[in-house]
A = this chain, B = another copy of it.
Amino acid sequence: MRVLGVDPGLTRCGVGVVDGGAGKPPRLVHVDVVRTPADHDIAVRLLQVAEEVEAMMDTYKPDVVAVERVFSQQNVRTVMGTAQAAGVVALAAARRHIPVAWHTPSEVKAAVSGNGSADKAQVTTMVTRLLRLDTRPKPADAADALALAICHLWRSPMQAKLAALTPTAPRRRTAPPAPAVRVAR
């Protein structure tokens, strides 16, 4: 399974592609950070993020796109930009019929480090070790995107087993293959 992990953002949007599967160690395929200038118009910045992430989806053809589930924390302006960037990434995946999975920051930290409140340095250290890289991925957004992809590789078989055990499956979190459902207005 190939996962494209996205740490969404307008100033820096981390994108990491990781291969993995049952019994196989995760393997780095690609990592990059899309940057857009803070003084540009928001719509233009969203277009830049969309175009670069779409190009990566088309090049690396992931089976799943894993995106950080954004919460409303600190700075309102930053959070809104982050949510908008996450939206255009999810849209790009839906257009390609690639399922989108959402993981919270603490789920990602817990998955790679065993500690849901690990700091950025610990996450980077664990990602470097798990992918057996010679150098630490930089900036932190790149490491976070890789951590998201690794988190999905590990959580998704567990989530699938849980869903199979639950008689009425909970709210779907990944896109069905044919998403063009239109609703009568």
Contacts and interface: CB of A to CB of B under 8 A. Distances in A.
Contact of A183 (B36, B85, B94): B36
A147 interface: no
Q: Taking the full assembly, how many copies of this chain does it contain? A: 2
A99 B42 CA distance: 10
Interface residues of A, number: 50
A51 B80 CA distance: 22
Contact of A90 (B42, B172, B174): B42
Nearest to A47: B94
A175 B83 contact: no
Nearest to A74: B72
A44 to B, nearest CB: 4
B76 A44 contact: no
A22 B118 CA distance: 58
Contacts of A100: 41-43
A139 B76 CA distance: 28
A48 B183 contact: yes
B172 A47 contact: no
A33 interface: yes
Given A41-B174, A182-B48, A91 B90 contact: no
Contacts of A180: 47-48, 51
Given A84-B90, A90-B84, A183 B43 contact: no
Interface of A: 32-37, 39-44, 46-48, 50-52, 70-72, 76, 79-80, 83-88, 90-91, 93-95, 99-100, 102, 171-176, 179-183, 185
Report the 8 A-B pairs with minimum CB-CB distance, sorted nearest first.
Answer: A84-B87, A83-B83, A87-B87, A43-B90, A47-B94, A43-B94, A43-B100, A44-B179
30 contacts: A32-B185, A36-B183, A37-B181, A37-B183, A41-B100, A41-B176, A41-B179, A42-B100, A42-B102, A43-B99, A43-B175, A43-B179, A44-B181, A46-B87, A47-B94, A47-B179, A47-B180, A48-B179, A50-B91, A51-B182, A52-B182, A71-B80, A72-B79, A83-B87, A84-B84, A84-B86, A84-B87, A84-B90, A85-B87, A86-B87
